[in-house]
A and B are shown apart, each in its own frame.
Chain A
Amino acid sequence: EAGVAQSPRYKIIEKRQSVAFWCNPISGHATLYWYQQILGQGPKLLIQFQNNGVVDDSQLPKDRFSAERLKGVDSTLKIQPAKLEDSAVYLCASSQQPNTEAFFGQGTRLTVV
């Protein structure tokens, strides 16, 4: 079974630039999560999708972050414009349903300079 795929693995951008991350979940998984993990901290949920609908985006900074999940499969997370404090690893995860184990991708390490 293929795992959760994320790209790119690494990205360096200047502040005020924009960036996009892509995630392909495990086939058949209805729930998709985006987490932000700042160095030395635990992952923080940014947004949770159930199929192509948003379940929770309460911690997503909506003035600069956006996410979509087209056709309930792949998802993209965008930051525009980026700030220095956005430097973190962005993790995508998927699960068959909420409350079941989530499988994580390798993450995208973003550095904003």
Chain B
Amino acid sequence: AQSVTQLDSHVSVSEGTPVLLRCNYSSSYSPSLFWYVQHPNKGLQLLLKYTSAATLVKGINGFEAEFKKSETSFHLTKPSAHMSDAAEYFCVVSDYNTDKLIFGTGTRLQVFP
């Protein structure tokens, strides 16, 4: 069965420092992987997606993620955090066997001035 584990429930960084949000997945088949962001009282917005093309994926707002099959990971990074990045981030996995989108439990990112 497919699943996704977000290794940190909370991450705090200072503005201007790098961001790393960790995600590990389990999937029997070649997965599709996504990162979504949710600002308070707002809907979920797609940040980026991996669908078996390039393993380094660039998304919106300067975010990137790298698909590492050997480590079953899809960590989200950003070189320099901005105050507006403070939000909840969800890693999502889907595979062609089940056609379901499965969400992780989320990582809350706090950015301090």
Contacts and interface: CB of A to CB of B under 8 A. Distances in A.
B49 A101 contact: yes
A111 to B, nearest CB: 14
Instruction: Provide the main secondary structure of the chain A interface.
Output: strand
Contacts of A48: 99-100
B43 A91 contact: yes
A56 B43 CA distance: 23
Contacts of A65: none
Interface of B: 32, 34, 36, 42-46, 49, 51, 90, 94-96, 98-106
23 contacts: A35-B103, A41-B105, A42-B90, A42-B103, A42-B105, A42-B106, A44-B103, A45-B100, A45-B102, A45-B103, A55-B100, A56-B98, A98-B94, A98-B96, A99-B51, A99-B94, A99-B95, A99-B96, A100-B32, A101-B49, A102-B46, A104-B45, A105-B43
Interface of A: 31, 33, 35, 41-45, 48, 50, 55-56, 91, 93, 98-107
